[in-house]
Copies of this chain bind each other. A is one copy, B any other.
Amino acid sequence: MTKRSTRELIEENADALFYQGGFEATSFADIANAVGISRGNFYHHFKSKDAILDAVITRRLDATRAMLEHWEADASPEVRILAFIQILITNRTKIMAFGCPVGTLNTELSKLDHAAQNRAAEIFGLFRDWLAKQFTALGHNDDAEALALHLLGRSQGVAVMASAFRDEGFLRSEVASLEDWLQGLPQQLKTQQLKTRPRMTECS
């Protein structure tokens, strides 16, 4: 395994701690303790708490770009959008415990009136633009961005409610509903029909 630098270790641990406990509630001491270094050493790599937040957001932006690029290898726009929807299932345990990393960070930074909130929203922007591209490929010329935002919003709602109630059944039910919603969209240029599969009870 590649040995990661101290700076990378700090970013990794800060990323996880900000997700699990929130930015404000996570202290320098928490991060330094998780990495196993002194606060002085920490300060040698990041000169302020905002600097580490900035690095974490950059890290998440990069990770998101890489994930979206990876999904581009999928056969059709439908399958790519389904890959997005499926992350709710893949990350369900963490989502039920801590919510969506993107949504909760934006929510917190909004309340703190933090300057980095705009950069955090860019992560949403990446998903929005990528999803809009997929919907455009499905023939939605005028409403591709609206569809992308709608899907993003639905996902965020699922994360918030599943976290508040710790309700995996609700999460799975809403994912099934989203998949049906995608399948039911009018698709002018649709080239490939998804095979139908059994679904859970749904409500829309």
Contact = CB atoms under 8 A, between A and B. Distances in A.
A22 interface: yes
Interface of A: 20-22, 24-25, 97-99, 103-104, 106-108, 110-112, 117, 120-121, 124, 143, 146-147, 149-150, 152-158, 160-161, 163-165, 167, 170, 173-174, 177, 181, 201-204
29 contacts: A22-B111, A25-B112, A98-B111, A99-B107, A99-B110, A103-B107, A103-B164, A107-B160, A107-B163, A108-B108, A110-B164, A117-B164, A121-B164, A121-B165, A143-B201, A143-B203, A146-B173, A149-B203, A150-B177, A150-B204, A152-B161, A153-B157, A153-B158, A153-B161, A153-B174, A156-B156, A156-B161, A157-B157, A181-B204
A110 B94 CA distance: 11
Contacts of A24: 22, 24-25
A37 B150 CA distance: 46
A163 to B, nearest CB: 5
A159 B158 CA distance: 12
A108 B150 CA distance: 24
A136 to B, nearest CB: 13
A201 B111 contact: no
Nearest to A149: B170
A20 B112 CA distance: 8
A165 B117 CA distance: 10
B174 A106 contact: no
A140 to B, nearest CB: 9
Contacts of A174: 150, 153
A128 to B, nearest CB: 9
B110 A107 contact: no
Contacts of A112: 21-22, 25
